[in-house]
Amino acid sequence: MAIKQISFDFWNTLFRANPAYGEARNKYLAESKFNLNGLSASEVHDAYKSVDWRIDWLIDRTGYSYAPVQLYGMVAYELGYHQATSGDLLSMGEAFAELFQKHPPTLYSPDTLHVLKELSGLSYGISIGSNTGFIPGSLLRNVCLEPLDIEFNFMVFSDEIHYAKPHAGFFGEVYGKADNVFRFRGINRKQILHIGDNLITDVAGPMAAGLDAFLINDGTFTISDLMTKISHEANV
C-alpha cells in the first residue's frame, strides 16, 4: 500500500546531540546554586543521565509524557537542591535553552537533508513525531527544524500533548493530524510510515497503533535506505 505520510523521530534519527552542549550544561550545573552536593562536572553528568535514563524507562513502559520542568526538578534534587521553586526551575530551563541555542544538535548524517528534500520533492507528507525530554518541542522546532527549509505538514512533540511514544495516544495524534492534511484525498493508518531508531518507541509503538514503521541507525539501515522501503511498500 502506497505511503502518503512519513513521520520522523528527532533524536538519533534526524539529529544527534552536540557534545559541546552536554559539556556546557554540566559546567553550568556544577557551578550553579543547585549543586549543594558539590559534585564535579563529571559527577553532574552522571546525575543528569540517571534522571534521563529513569524517565526513558518510565516512558517506554507507560507512554505518558513528562514536562521539561519536571525533569529540571529531578536534576536539582539529584544535585542536593531539595526545595526548588518554580522560579528556580524556570531559571534552569532558560539556562539550558541558551546553551542549546549556542550549541545546537547536528544532522545525524550527511544524507539526512538530501533525503528530506527528495521526499518533499516527491510530494510525500513529512512530519515530526518525537519525544522531547529536557528540551521542549518549541526549541527543537525553532532552533533545528525550521532552518532546514523543509515543509513539514505538522509536528507532534510529547511535551505538547498528554502522551509520549510508544503510547497509542501519541500515534493517534499523528494519525489525526495526517487525516486532516489528507481530508480530501483520504489516508489510512497503514499509509503513515514512522521512522526512528528505537525498537520500542519507534517500531513497536506505531505498529501497535496500526501505522507502518522503519528502524534506522541501528547498524543495519540508515535514512538512505528509506526510498527502497517506500518503493517496496508501494508495490505490496
pLDDT (tens digit per residue) in 92-119:
999 999 999 999 999 999 999 999 999 9
pLDDT at 89: 97
| pLDDT (mean) for 137-146 | 97
Confidence grade of residue 227 (pLDDT, cut at 50, 70, 90): confident
pLDDT at 199: 96
Confidence grade of residue 235 (pLDDT, cut at 50, 70, 90): low
The conformational region for residue 63 under phi > 0 = left, psi -120 to 50 = alpha, else beta, is: left
| pLDDT (mean) for 205-212 | 98
- pLDDT tens digits, one per residue of 173-198: 999 999 999 987 889 999 999 999 99
pLDDT at 183: 86
pLDDT at 210: 97
% helix, strand, coil for the chain, step of 5: 55, 15, 35
- pLDDT tens digits, one per residue of 73-83: 999 999 999 99
The conformational region for residue 12 under phi > 0 = left, psi -120 to 50 = alpha, else beta, is: left
pLDDT at 232: 67
In terms of pTM, does the model score above 0.85? Answer: yes
Q: How far apart are CA 198 and CA 62, in angstroms?
A: 16
Tell the burial category of 139 from Cβ atoms under 10 Å away from its Cβ (0-12, 13-18, 19+): buried
pLDDT at 234 over 70: no
Confidence grade of residue 233 (pLDDT, cut at 50, 70, 90): low
pLDDT at 184: 78
pLDDT at 236 over 60: no
- What stretches of 33-107 adopt beta strand conformation (E)? 106-107
Mean pLDDT, all residues of the chain = 95
